[in-house]
Amino acid sequence: MEEHKSEMSCESAKVECKLEIKIELEEEQDVDLLTRELRHLEERTLAPPALPTLALPTLALPALALPALALPILALTAPAEASAEAQNELWRQTFAESASSTHREEINSLKRRVAALEEEVAEKDKIIAAIKQAKQGTLFTEDITPKKRRLIRAISDLVCGQSVSSTTCSPTHLENEDPQPLGTQSTASSSSTELVPLFPGGEPILTEIEKRNVFKKGTTKEALLNALLDAVFGLKTLALGNACGSRVAVNKAEEGGHEKLDPQKLNQIKECVLQRFKTQDDQKCFSPKDFNRKINQKCGTARRSLKTKQNVDT
């Protein structure tokens, strides 16, 4: 009996499972139908209503023959090229302006330096030309005042060490045991030029070129005397001497006095001045006292020039 009950219970369980499965399948079919109907309704609502077709008569429109516009290619490309060139030109102008603005100050400074150098060269050329003219004796003309002559002579002395036409004086004569009068050494230049006299019958003491330069400077009796003293003795010799010599004071023994210039040369100079500047009544233009005074003044001027030169050198 128990076995029969268990079999019955198994069969009832199977039947119940089949019913449940059947119910589920039916439910699933119902769901599928519902989804189909929903889709169908949605399609109906979204689709537009079908309009009736109208039979319109066909109108035969004539075909319009439009002319073909043949535009040249160059006409389109020319404005583009022109604009490109204009833009390039604008860039070049802006670049040039920027470059000029950056280098303008440097160019101006270089110009100022060049101008300053040119002025300096011009000044030096003027000085060299003045020295050359002073050597040739072309500066001492009638229209130049004595003050200008003294200034030019002092400049030439400072540059050259002594007057161009003057002769070099060796200081060894001061160390000899038997000192001779100043200016007795030879006045011939290193170039073996022949000495000529200052006047006919005189002693040869100057070269022809020196004599010509002296006479060109000596437009007056004072100018001729000074030019002859410069040419015959020189600046250093004149600074160390005077016309008649001088005594040395006891309290100035260490400084030393001024020695007498060569008397023979002084006589030649005096005679030359007297012959070239004669008076109408055949009187002498200078007395012996005037000669000595002028010679001593010239020696004092030479000493001052030499002292100025030494101060400049130091």
- 31-61 residue pLDDT tens: 567 677 767 766 665 555 555 555 545 545 4
The residue-averaged pLDDT of 76-93 equals 75
- Give 269's contacts (C-beta < 8 A, 6+ positions apart): 198, 225, 228, 229, 232
- Which pLDDT score is estimated for 89? 84
Enumerate domains of the chain plus CATH numbers: 135-170+186-313 (1.10.10.2590)
R_g (Cα) of the chain, nearest Å: 65
Region 140-161: mean pLDDT is: 65
- Residues 241-291 have pLDDT tens digits of 888 866 554 445 445 567 889 889 999 998 898 888 877 777 788 888 888
User: What does the pLDDT read at residue 106?
Assistant: 84
- Listed residue (177, 296, 184) closest to 246, CA to CA: 296
What average pLDDT does this structure show over 148-155? 74
Residue 6 pLDDT class (50, 70, 90 cuts) = confident
pLDDT confidence of residue 307? 86
Least confident of 30-44, 104-118, 131-145, 163-177: 163-177
Instruction: Give the whole-number percent of the chain exceeding pLDDT 70.
Output: 60
Residues 6+ apart with CB under 8 A from 271: 198, 199, 202
pTM score, whole prediction: 0.39
Average pLDDT of the segment spanning 207-222: 90
pLDDT band at residue 139 under the 50/70/90 scheme: very low
The predicted structure's pLDDT at residue 254 = 47
Mean pLDDT throughout 205-215? Answer: 91
Model pLDDT for residues 123-133, shown as the tens digit of each residue? 888 888 888 77
Whole-number Å distance between alpha carbons of 236 and 241: 9
Cβ–Cβ < 8 Å for 213, 137: yes
CA atoms within 13 A on the CB side of 151: 7
Contact yes or no for 182/257 (Cβ under 8 A): no
